[in-house]
Amino acid sequence: MQFQNKKKVATITAVGMYVPEKILDNKYLESIVDTSDEWIMTRTGIRERRIMENGATSDMAVKACEDLFKTTSVKPEEIDVIIVATVTPDMLFPATACLVQEKIGATKAWGFDLSAACSAFLFALQTGASLIESGTYKKVLVIGSDKMSSIVDYTDRNTCILFGDLASAVLLEPTENQNIGIKDSMLFSDGSGKDALQMKAGGSLNPASHETIDKKWHYIYQDGKAVFKVAVKGMADVSYEIMKRNNLTSDDVAYLVPHQANLRIIDATAERMGISKEKVMINIDRYGNTTAATIPSCLTEYYRDGKIKKGDNLILAAFGAGYTWGAIYLTWGLD
Ligand code: COA
């Protein structure tokens, strides 16, 4: 008998999301900080964001998973691994993945949180894909969930206009169809960017104290201009490189699925790839920057709207705190 060692490929077999009900629009922000709807729209592309009023990141993640499980025959108790991409875990420990595991009844799963800020969903997706490619695991839930409102200073106009709360999840399973699935990734970290975008306190460097609270170190700090410059270059370059490395032309790419931080960064990335606006997934106008949830929520919405079809080549791309950045090339496998 001939020994067959077909490479296992991971593919997304289900998607889901949770959108909190409360809307925070630019008009409201005008009433609490010195800003305007016009400034926010032209500089960022954001019109409104969602706020999770009662509950934490794990609660949003659970609702996204419940939404996902409605669409697949896979049951929570069949899940092998849960990866929660987040910068707003319920607590520093235990991991939010454990809380989600218990709440959804994934009785045989192990899991962990992955902290890579706005690139976390990409890092988690590649990690999940590798677990499947290893042949050891067959059902991996990759969740992006962030309650950004819990770390936003609503007196700081530089940051409070940007972020929102959202959760979304994908299920990864192996496929022997070599035409679909996750095909390539280029992921990077550069810790020299740590001072430009961070939450200073609450960890072992600056444990919570009266001083850290007085200095507002438990909120997001961002040097927007500095991050903007590197984000434009980082996201555009890596998206172009992954296309080149896989011999893809802009015609071969059905969609760019960018992290939703700023419409101007997204436009610059699409331009570098030679991709027209209609082929760029966008939901920043309705949700703002939802950190780990931006990319899976775009996938969920565009798939449910019938805009992605089986066989479509997608380039997922992100840039975030760390710095962290990267791109993933996949071919959509869901009908
Ligand atoms: N409303 C009105 N004016 C504002 C404002 C607001 N909400 N926030 C800042 N401003 C002012 C600034 O004070 C500045 O005024 P000044 O020229 O008098 O000093 C002016 O607008 C321009 O500020 P600047 O920071 O240069 O704006 P920008 O065009 O760079 O836009 C961001 C700011 C934050 C939207 C943009 O820098 C950005 O998106 N950065 C990257 C975000 C990102 O990708 N993060 C990584 C992933 S999370």
Q: Which of 149, 119, 129, 127 is nearest to 261 (CA)?
A: 119
**Residue 6 reports pLDDT greater than 80:** no
262 in active site: no
The stretch 297-305 carries a mean pLDDT of 98
Residues 170 and 314: beta-carbon distance below 8 Å: no
| Domain boundaries 181-331, corresponding CATH code | 3.40.47.10
List the domain boundaries for the chain.
Answer: 9-175, 181-331
Tell me the whole-structure pTM to 2 decimals: 0.96
Q: Write b or e for each residue in 246-265: b if 16 or more Cβ atoms lie within 10 A of its Cβ, otherwise e.
A: eebeeeebbbbbbbbbbbeb
pLDDT tens digits, one per residue of 74-120: 999 999 999 999 999 999 999 999 999 999 999 999 999 999 999 99
Of ligand 1's listed atoms, the one at least distance from the Cα of 231 is 44
Domain 9-175 matches domain 181-331 at the CATH topology level: yes
259 in active site: yes
289 in active site: yes
Pair of tokens at residue 159: 């940051």
Catalytic entry in 65, 98, 259, 283: 259
Q: Is the dihedral of CA 105, 110, 115, 116 positive or negative?
A: negative
261 Cβ inside 6 Å of ligand 1: yes
Residues 6+ apart with CB under 8 A from 275: 250, 253, 256
**Residue 4 reports pLDDT greater than 60:** no
CB atoms within 10 A of CB 4: 5
The stretch 111-130 carries a mean pLDDT of 98
Distance 160 CA to ligand 1 centre (A): 11
Q: Per-residue confidence at 298, pLDDT binned at 50, 70, 90?
A: very high
CATH superfamily ID and name for 9-175: Thiolase/Chalcone synthase (3.40.47.10)
Average pLDDT, the chain: 97
